[in-house]
């Protein structure tokens, strides 16, 4: 009504009659100013929408609460963020299910020594590693290998390659040891051919780590890295179509930096993995 009155010059009385609104109600609305609480709610809603779009829709209300409370130096509860995101019709990207694979017979198989005990009292005590397949261009494939530290869920090392071969896994492990020389963690993996190869066995003897392998068909035995793949794919990989290997590589590098340094989580006291490690 106000726009029609200002822009078109229509009479307020006629507009009120057309909209079945009392003139007194219109003038009351005209003089109304939002309360401090309402202004705060509007501000928070704008921040939620801006942060949601900045992160390409990957944030649910829990992550939104953690990140925005830190940014705004506030302690708004997650229910408030839930109500705001529901009102704005903002939902986190839905995670896709990972295909189920059964590993082939291996050469150097190890027992499941970790036995789903994923708690670590210090950095570089327990690592989890795996390879996942990514696609780009017209059905072309790339393979991402990573090592995650169970102490703070930090990505210790990662390598992206055109080929899913022994070199991919060995390079990932060598990169992890270059960053962390002298450590001897227990490393959980599946029974894929790279982890049961002679090359992997030689690296075990060289670095002195303890091998632990998931049982056949039991992906939960290696849950930490499986959970990370789901997080990475839902928050980054599934959001973009990659025409070239270079663009996929850049996106992976960007996400790994975000994950280690800026993805704050409640289980780490609201810190990112790298912040949590430095705080000890």
- For residue 97, the model assigns a pLDDT of 54
Residues 22, 30 contacting (CB under 8 angstroms): no
User: Which of the 8 DSSP states describes residue 8?
Assistant: I
Q: What percent of the chain has pLDDT over 70?
A: 87
- For residue 105, the model assigns a pLDDT of 47
- For residue 8, the model assigns a pLDDT of 61
Residues in the chain predicted with pLDDT less than 70, given as ranges, are 1-10, 12, 15, 18-19, 26-27, 29-32, 34, 94-107, 280
> What is the number of other CB atoms lying within 10 angstroms of the CB of residue 83?
13
d(CA 182, CA 188): 18
Q: What pTM was computed for the model?
A: 0.68
- For residue 216, the model assigns a pLDDT of 83
β-bridge mates for residue 122, sequence order: none
Tokens at 61, concatenated: 């209300």
């Amino acid at each position: 009504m106000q726009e029609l009155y200002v822009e078109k010059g229509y009479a307020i009385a006629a507009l009120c009659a057309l909209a079945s609104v009392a003139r007194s109600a219109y003038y009351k609305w005209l003089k109304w100013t939002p309360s401090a609480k309402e202004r705060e709610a509007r501000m928070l809603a704008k921040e939620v929408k801006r942060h949601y779009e900045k992160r390409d829709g990957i944030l649910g209300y829990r992550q939104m609460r953690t990140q925005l409370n830190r940014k705004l130096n506030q302690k708004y509860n997650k229910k408030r963020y839930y109500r705001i995101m529901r009102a704005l019709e903002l939902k986190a990207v839905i995670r896709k299910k990972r295909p189920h694979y059964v590993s082939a017979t291996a050469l150097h198989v190890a027992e499941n020594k970790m036995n789903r005990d994923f708690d670590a009292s210090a950095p570089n005590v327990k690592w989890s590693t795996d390879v996942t397949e990514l696609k780009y261009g017209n059905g072309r494939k790339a393979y991402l290998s990573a090592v995650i530290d169970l102490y703070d869920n930090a990505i210790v090392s990662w390598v992206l390659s055109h080929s899913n071969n022994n070199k991919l896994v060995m390079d990932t492990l060598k990169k992890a040891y270059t960053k962390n020389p002298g450590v001897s963690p227990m490393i959980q993996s599946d029974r894929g051919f790279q982890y049961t190869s002679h090359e992997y066995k030689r690296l075990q003897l060289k670095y002195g780590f303890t091998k632990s392998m998931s049982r056949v068909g039991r992906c939960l035995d290696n849950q930490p890295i499986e959970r990370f793949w789901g997080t990475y794919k839902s928050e980054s990989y599934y959001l973009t179509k990659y025409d070239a290997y270079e663009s996929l590589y850049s996106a992976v590098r960007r996400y790994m930096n975000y994950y280690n340094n800026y993805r704050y989580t409640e289980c780490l006291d609201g810190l990112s993995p790298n912040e949590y490690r430095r705080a000890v």
